[in-house]
């Protein structure tokens, strides 16, 4: 039973807080469109590592917070992040065993999915035009994922997060 007692929860909270900060941090206009989806990457990692503790409803709550922080229509990112994390939780065993580049590719397509869902809901709600720069975060997330993964794994092992 002792295996199921949560440990190092604060590491998860802190990493999510940091990701949220990075998500709303100001960036120069040129790199703004390339901003990786920090929050999504971090919650994907935790959903992959501890799917019984951090999963769809945590992603939902984070999505609501992100919507509020960005001043967006409520529920959009909550919806897309829950969908993405659902896919992760469904395949967490397989994702864990992928080589890192394959994992990064998978994650980047999930980021694409996230942005498409956000765009799609925005499109239904108001007039927005499709812009290919929508997919830039997927590329930057692809590049950044291995580092996020290694760093969070080190943190997880260091503090024995369960």
Binders in 82-101 for another protein, by CB under 8 A: 82-83, 86, 89-90
Considering only the stretches 75-83, 105-113, 141-149, 150-158, report the one whose residues sit in contact with another protein under the rule CB under 8 A: 75-83
- Taken as a whole, the chain contains a residue count of 162
For 64, residues 6+ apart whose C-beta sits below 8 A from its C-beta are 74, 75, 77, 78
CB neighbours of residue 107 within 10 Å: 28
- Is there a contact between 49 and 156 (Cβ–Cβ < 8 Å)? yes
Binders in 15-44 for another protein, by CB under 8 A: 17, 20-21, 23-27, 32, 35
Binders in 123-142 for another protein, by CB under 8 A: 125-129
Q: For residue 76, with 0-12 CB atoms within 10 Å meaning exposed, 13-18 middle and 19 or more buried, which class applies?
A: buried
Specify the 3-state DSSP secondary structure of 147: helix
Please report how close the Cβ of residue 48 comes to another protein at its closest, in angstroms.
14
Which residue bears the tokens 């890192």? 100
Q: Does 68 bind another protein (CB under 8 A)?
A: yes
Q: Does 153 bind another protein (CB under 8 A)?
A: no
**Residues binding another protein (CB under 8 A):** 3-4, 17, 20-21, 23-27, 32, 35, 51-53, 55-57, 59-60, 63-65, 68-76, 78-79, 82-83, 86, 89-90, 121-122, 125-129, 162
């Amino acid at each position: 039973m002792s295996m199921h007692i949560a440990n190092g929860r604060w590491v998860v909270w802190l990493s999510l807080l940091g990701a949220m900060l990075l998500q709303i941090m100001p960036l120069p206009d040129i790199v703004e469109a390339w901003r990786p989806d920090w929050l999504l990457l971090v919650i994907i990692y935790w959903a992959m590592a501890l799917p019984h503790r951090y999963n769809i409803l945590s992603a939902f709550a984070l999505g609501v917070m992100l919507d509020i922080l960005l001043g967006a229509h409520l529920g959009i990112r909550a919806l897309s992040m829950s969908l993405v994390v659902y896919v992760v939780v469904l395949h967490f065993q397989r994702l864990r065993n992928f080589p890192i580049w394959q994992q990064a590719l998978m994650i980047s397509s999930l980021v694409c999915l996230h942005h498409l869902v956000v765009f799609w809901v925005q499109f239904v709600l108001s007039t927005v035009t499709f812009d290919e720069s929508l997919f830039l975060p997927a590329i930057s997330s692809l590049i950044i994922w291995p580092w996020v993964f290694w760093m969070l794994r080190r943190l997880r092992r260091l503090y024995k997060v369960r």
